[in-house]
Structure 1
Amino acid sequence: MGKHLRSAVRLRRPVDTWHKPALSAAAALAVPDLTLLALGRLDLVLYTSAGAMCALYAHGLPYAARARTLAWVVLGMVVSLGIALTAASLTASPVLLVVGASLVAAAHKTLCDATRVGSPGNLILTFISSSAFFVPQRLVDVPLHLALAVAAGAVAWLVCMAPGLVRPHGPERVAVARALESAAGLWRVRREGTESPGRQGTGRPDTELTARQALAGAVNSAWHTLFLAPGTDDARARLARLLAHAESALATPRTGRPHTPADEAERCAAAARAVRGGGALPEIDPTPDEARRLTGIATEAEHTVPALERCPAPDRATGVRAVLARLRPGSPLLPIGARVAVGCTLAGWASLAAGVGHPYWAVVSAASIYQANSTLSGQRALQRVLGNVLGLVLFFALLPLIRIGPPVMVLLALALQIGAEALITRNYWLGSVCVTPMALLLTEFGGRLPAGTLIADRLIDTVVGVAVGLVCCAVVTNRRATDRIEEALARVTAARSAALRRLGESEAQGEGEGQGEGERQSASADDGPGPDAGDADRETGWARDRLALALVELREAFEVASGEWWQRALPAERIAAAEREGHRTLARLVRHAAPRVPVS
């Protein structure tokens, strides 16, 4: 119990890019808020906030993919707002409105998890739409209010796309830098193992395997980011070569290499720092394993095959196909959606029964605690209560400033938005300290209420929403989480078998080519590398991608199922064996398909 409590409240290092969504959202909110302030119509802030808050999304995506994703987020926000406002104009029954808000919240959770839209996930969509369900509305005003949301969404889109004019490869650079930092972390673990060879086998966790898993996930994410970035310019090619170098750390190091693990860690860390900066991208000299691949082509620069040619496997589901696959019948996402629908409905009804004037706060509180499994949901419930209580204290302390007038309220709202994004990456409860007074300020824009009533309603709704949400989390089980492990194990087994076949074919081909080395080098000097070599490298790269993705998904499935109660016994030994053998095979693939990089 104490371990889970400490984990729930422990502060993490802030995410390296927290300032991007923070400043983007503040800028996107400032434009409509200041405009409405000048017009004396701050009562319309809810509708403009719906579009402006979309600026929190998609900051990890390349700009071409970001443009599409933000457009879908704005569309989803406007559709959700339209449903809420239409329902509010057609019925005044709070019981029915709670049901409508809960169903929309469940749709948000399921679709955001299926699309993997990233932070802040379903929370912003649910907060805005749930509030709109309980705003007095006339049907004739709905088009105007939706138009305000669309206009603010357009501002958010422009704000999020603007940095691309200055730093067009910014998201790709961040993704590659994270992979290089993970590679540096793996080399540091190896350095410690070299300096203290007796560490392993003493009952401690396999820290190297953990570091390899972290690197495999970072590399997989970075390749996915590069795949989303179109173009063949030099910057993207350099990033691909740097990422290939980071990935090469997955290969088991050979003895007698000129660089020690400490040297390799510093090289990767220095490269990561340079990539994060705004200057020219660095070049890393090839390792011995990489240099082996340069034999026969290093003397002819025009025949060098850059790592940029790597592309995703053709059978890798993307876009709508991937989303539909995650929502198929039997998907483990569906029970989570059912939890949200049931938990939010009962929480809203309980709030109504308690006589609270803001039942949508209970709906949002219940929706906010549902995470990937029961254990994480319990931790989030504790974080929600702690953050909201402290946030109410902050709101009470800010009341003298709030009562000065609308201009100060607008400035406070913008400052709290930045503070929330700065703190929430350290821990959810810390970010909630700023989110809570910001939500109360949004209520104040629509009309002033007694501070005591606001604070009491928020506290009661938080406790009710969290308590009812946890009960529903226990009642609505997710036994499909174990089924996902079996599917992930099957994918790892299939990907590893295909990889071993690919390695066998490549090694046999290499032996055949070795018999005619002189003829091959002579031909390559005249004609360049043959198409068969390029096809073989591409097939090996695809095998590596499939295996790496399968290993990442297996680890994710195991972590989700481990925190879910009332499960069948998890096949822990099979999972450990699959991961161990899978990473060994991945290391062979990485060494065999080491990138062809120019010698500098």
Structure 2
Amino acid sequence: MRKHLRTAVRLRRPVDTWHKPALSAAAALAVPDLTLLALGRLDLVLYTSAGAMCALYAHGLPYAARARTLLWVVLGMVVSLGVALTAASLTASPVLLVVGASLVAAAHKTLCDATRIGPPGNLILTFIASSAFFMPQRIGDVPLHLALALAAGAVAWLVCMAPVLVRPHGPERLAVARALESAAALWRLRREGAEPRDGRDAALRDTELTARQAVAGAVNSAWHTLFLIPGADPARARLERLLAHAESALAAPCEGRTRTPAHEAERCAAQARAIRSRGALPEIGPTPGDPRRPAEVTAEAGTATERETRTAADAAHTVPAAPRRPAPDRVTGVRAVLARLRPGSPLLPIGVRVAVGCTLAGWVSLAAGVGHPYWAVVSAASIHQANSTLSGQRALQRVLGNALGLILFFALLPLIRVGPLAMVLLALALQIGAEALITRNYWLGSVCVTPMALLLTEFGGRLPAGTLIADRLIDTVVGVAVGLACCAVVTNRRATDRIDEALARVTAARSAALHRLGEGGGAGGGPDREDGPAVGDGDRESGWARDRLALSLSLVELREAFEVASGEWWQRSLPAERVAAAEREGHRTLARLVRHAAPRVPVS
């Protein structure tokens, strides 16, 4: 229990790009808010905020993909708002409105998890839509309010796309830089001449396995990012070479001797720093102090073992013969989303938890006479995470953050009462503060989110501060308590089934990879040839085998599935030993694939 408490409140290092969604959202909010202030119509802030808050999404995507994704987010927000406003105009029954808000919240959670949209996930969509369900509304005003949301969404789209004019390859550069930084961390863990002798060495191997998993995840994410860029883009080719260098860290043996681990660590770190800068992309060239070409260095190795230990460093000099493509059987887009929502999907019980929890929380809030039952709905929706353990941690974070946020709201009341301009500027400052802090921990970000939510209520009409604070506190406690109860009642036994499916995928991908490695071991080129595999169809198929094992999320999803199932309180016995063995063998096979698939084309 104490460990879970520490985990729930512990502060992490801030995400390196927190300022991008923070400033984007602030800019997207400032334009409509200041316009409405000039027109004296701050009562319409909720509708414009619906579109403007879409600026928080898709900042990790290349700009072409970001444009498409943001369009879908804006349309999803407008549709959700339209459903909420239409329901509010057709019925005044708060009981029915709570049901409607809960069903929309469940749809948001399920679809955001299925599309893997990333932070802030379903929470922003649910907050705006749930609030709109309880806004007094006339059916004739709905088109105007939706038009305001759509216009603000267009502003958010333009704000998020504006950086393409000054840094057109920023997102993909960042993804590759993160992969190189993970590779540098892995190289730092390795020691020359280390042989396992005692428990400390076993612990070191466990730490290195964790680092290898981090590298595989970062490389996987970076390849997915590069796959979204047209193959003819010249910057993509150079980024592929740099990403291949990061990926080469996986090719080095987990134990044993590597050529220059300290040098490789510094090299990866230096490349990451160069990529993050605004200068030209660094070139992959010969190792300083070694003027020979990689093929010459590799050819001097007298044994297969020596060649193997040199491969990781030599792979840094390789140049892709053509833009790398994902495996042809890789499922993407709408088909991938539908596959994650198939009958029996582990995402569906989470959606049921949200629907039931939000409905009951809203009804309890109504029974308690609270004037803002949608806050209870949002609180219940916000705590439902991938499993019960994470939901319990989020519940603690929600209560702690909201309590401190209410104290901050009370302290800011004199400034809020100054006038409308002060309210607008304070809302923008809180938005930036929320994004700056929420990457450290959810509860810390909630300290700013809570007064911002209360400010949004103030724009529609001033209410006694004591009433607002009491309603928010009661709804938070009610939503958290009911949400946790639903986690216990609505079980997710399908989480264990997901482990079995992931194990089957890893086994199939590894078998195909080993078959491919066996084909490559003869005259056609393979890991034991001094000049490496030939570039061509065989090499492309080796790359696809690697993609199916790593980039298709086989290994990554296995780890995620096991962690999710481990956090559910009612599960059958988990196959921990099978998972550990599958991960260990899978990463060994992945290392062989990295060595096998990398073409040896020297850079002069």
Instruction: Judge conservation of contact 1:175–1:225 (CA < 8 Å) in 2.
Output: yes
- How far apart in 1 are the matches of 2:296 and 2:80? 53
Q: Which residue in the other structure is 1:539 paired with? A: 541
Q: Aligned runs of 1:254-333 on 2, under 5 Å?
A: 259-285=259-285, 291-292=294-295, 306=320, 309-333=323-347
2:442 pairs with 1:438: no
Q: Aligned runs of 1:518-557 on 2, under 5 Å?
A: 533-548=535-550, 549-557=553-561
Note the C-alpha offset of 1:508. Answer: 1.5
Aligned with 1:351: secondary structure? helix
Instruction: Judge conservation of contact 1:88–1:133 (CA < 8 Å) in 2.
Output: yes
What letter is aligned with 2:261? P
Compared CA separation, residues 590 and 51, structure 1 to 2 (3 A): same
Q: Which residue in the other structure is 2:96 paired with? A: 96
Aligned with 2:437: secondary structure? helix
Instruction: Judge conservation of contact 1:50–1:149 (CA < 8 Å) in 2.
Output: yes
2:589 pairs with 1:585: yes
- How far apart in 2 are the matches of 1:193 and 1:386? 49
Note the C-alpha offset of 1:476. Answer: 0.3
* 1:419 pairs with one of 433, 452, 462: 433
2:406 pairs with 1:404: no
Aligned with 1:265: secondary structure? helix
- How far apart in 1 are the matches of 2:476 and 2:124? 17
What letter is aligned with 1:478? N
Instruction: Judge conservation of contact 2:191–2:257 (CA < 8 Å) in 1.
Output: no
Q: Which residue in the other structure is 2:302 paired with? A: none
- How far apart in 2 are the matches of 1:134 and 1:193? 67
Instruction: Judge conservation of contact 1:307–1:596 (CA < 8 Å) in 2.
Output: no
Note the C-alpha offset of 1:307. Answer: 5.8
- How far apart in 2 are the matches of 1:388 and 1:254? 45
Give the percent of matched residue pairs that are identical in Structure 1 and Structure 2: 86
- How far apart in 2 are the matches of 1:131 and 1:293? 67
- How far apart in 1 are the matches of 2:194 and 2:138? 71
- How far apart in 2 are the matches of 1:460 and 1:224? 43
Q: Which residue in the other structure is 1:525 paired with? A: none
Note the C-alpha offset of 1:581. Answer: 0.4
Note the C-alpha offset of 1:595. Answer: 4.2
Q: Which residue in the other structure is 1:524 paired with? A: none
Aligned with 2:523: secondary structure? helix
Note the C-alpha offset of 1:191. Answer: 3.2
Note the C-alpha offset of 1:566. Answer: 0.5
What letter is aligned with 2:574? L
Compared CA separation, residues 587 and 39, structure 1 to 2 (3 A): same
Compared CA separation, residues 362 and 94, structure 1 to 2 (3 A): same
- How far apart in 1 are the matches of 2:450 and 2:137? 25
- How far apart in 2 are the matches of 1:198 and 1:271? 35
Q: Aligned runs of 1:46-61 on 2, under 5 Å?
A: 46-61=46-61
Compared CA separation, residues 20 and 133, structure 1 to 2 (3 A): same
Instruction: Judge conservation of contact 2:527–2:595 (CA < 8 Å) in 1.
Output: no
- How far apart in 2 are the matches of 1:214 and 1:487? 22
- How far apart in 2 are the matches of 1:229 and 1:491? 27
- TM normalised by structure 1 equals 0.93
Q: Which structure 1 segments of 5+ residues have no match?
A: 297-303, 522-528
Compared CA separation, residues 513 and 6, structure 1 to 2 (3 A): closer
Q: Which residue in the other structure is 1:480 paired with? A: 494
Note the C-alpha offset of 1:375. Answer: 0.3
- TM normalised by structure 2 equals 0.92
Aligned residue-pair number: 581
Instruction: Judge conservation of contact 1:387–1:429 (CA < 8 Å) in 2.
Output: yes
Compared CA separation, residues 261 and 427, structure 1 to 2 (3 A): same
Note the C-alpha offset of 1:188. Answer: 1.1
What letter is aligned with 1:6? R
- How far apart in 2 are the matches of 1:121 and 1:44? 24
Instruction: Judge conservation of contact 1:290–1:595 (CA < 8 Å) in 2.
Output: no
- How far apart in 1 are the matches of 2:96 and 2:192? 61
Structure 1 stretch displaced more, 502-511 or 24-33 = 502-511
Note the C-alpha offset of 1:374. Answer: 0.3
Aligned with 1:328: secondary structure? coil
- How far apart in 1 are the matches of 2:293 and 2:489? 54
* 2:504 pairs with one of 464, 484, 490: 490
Q: Which residue in the other structure is 1:300 paired with? A: none
2:468 pairs with 1:464: no
- How far apart in 2 are the matches of 1:364 and 1:476? 19
2:352 pairs with 1:338: yes
- How far apart in 2 are the matches of 1:184 and 1:514? 26
2:572 pairs with 1:558: no
- How far apart in 2 are the matches of 1:133 and 1:453? 20
Q: Which residue in the other structure is 2:44 paired with? A: 44
2:381 pairs with 1:379: no
- How far apart in 2 are the matches of 1:487 and 1:290? 44
Q: Which structure 2 segments of 5+ residues have no match?
A: 300-317
Q: Which residue in the other structure is 2:222 paired with? A: 222
- How far apart in 1 are the matches of 2:560 and 2:489? 23
Q: Which residue in the other structure is 1:77 paired with? A: 77
Instruction: Judge conservation of contact 2:193–2:256 (CA < 8 Å) in 1.
Output: no
Q: Which residue in the other structure is 2:378 paired with? A: 364
- How far apart in 1 are the matches of 2:478 and 2:587? 46
Instruction: Judge conservation of contact 1:51–1:151 (CA < 8 Å) in 2.
Output: yes
Note the C-alpha offset of 1:592. Answer: 1.1
- How far apart in 1 are the matches of 2:255 and 2:173? 31
What letter is aligned with 2:480? V
Compared CA separation, residues 449 and 293, structure 1 to 2 (3 A): farther
Aligned with 1:180: secondary structure? helix
What letter is aligned with 1:239? L
Q: Which residue in the other structure is 2:20 paired with? A: 20
Structure 1 stretch displaced more, 501-510 or 185-194 = 185-194
Instruction: Judge conservation of contact 1:241–1:308 (CA < 8 Å) in 2.
Output: no
Compared CA separation, residues 420 and 568, structure 1 to 2 (3 A): same
Q: Which residue in the other structure is 2:306 paired with? A: none
Aligned with 1:478: secondary structure? coil
Instruction: Judge conservation of contact 1:87–1:97 (CA < 8 Å) in 2.
Output: yes
1:114-158 CA-to-partner distances (Å, cap 9, x unmatched) read 000110000000000000000000000000000000000000000
- How far apart in 2 are the matches of 1:291 and 1:561? 45
- How far apart in 1 are the matches of 2:321 and 2:221? 17
Q: Which residue in the other structure is 2:303 paired with? A: none
Instruction: Judge conservation of contact 1:193–1:199 (CA < 8 Å) in 2.
Output: no
- How far apart in 2 are the matches of 1:290 and 1:507? 24
Instruction: Judge conservation of contact 1:245–1:595 (CA < 8 Å) in 2.
Output: no
Note the C-alpha offset of 1:196. Answer: 9.3
Note the C-alpha offset of 1:599. Answer: 1.7
Structure 1 stretch displaced more, 204-213 or 554-563 = 204-213
- How far apart in 2 are the matches of 1:586 and 1:496? 8
Instruction: Judge conservation of contact 1:183–1:249 (CA < 8 Å) in 2.
Output: yes
Instruction: Judge conservation of contact 1:236–1:308 (CA < 8 Å) in 2.
Output: no
2:237 pairs with 1:250: no
Instruction: Judge conservation of contact 2:520–2:527 (CA < 8 Å) in 1.
Output: no
Q: Which residue in the other structure is 2:307 paired with? A: none
* 1:391 pairs with one of 385, 396, 405: 405
Note the C-alpha offset of 1:306. Answer: 2.4
Compared CA separation, residues 202 and 217, structure 1 to 2 (3 A): closer
2:162 pairs with 1:166: no
Compared CA separation, residues 178 and 481, structure 1 to 2 (3 A): same
- How far apart in 2 are the matches of 1:209 and 1:278? 33
What letter is aligned with 1:291? P
Instruction: Judge conservation of contact 1:362–1:464 (CA < 8 Å) in 2.
Output: yes
Note the C-alpha offset of 1:284. Answer: 3.0
Note the C-alpha offset of 1:509. Answer: 3.2
1:299-327 CA-to-partner distances (Å, cap 9, x unmatched) read xxxxx962652110011100001000000
- How far apart in 2 are the matches of 1:196 and 1:514? 26
Q: Which residue in the other structure is 1:179 paired with? A: 179
Instruction: Judge conservation of contact 2:319–2:603 (CA < 8 Å) in 1.
Output: no
Compared CA separation, residues 251 and 514, structure 1 to 2 (3 A): closer
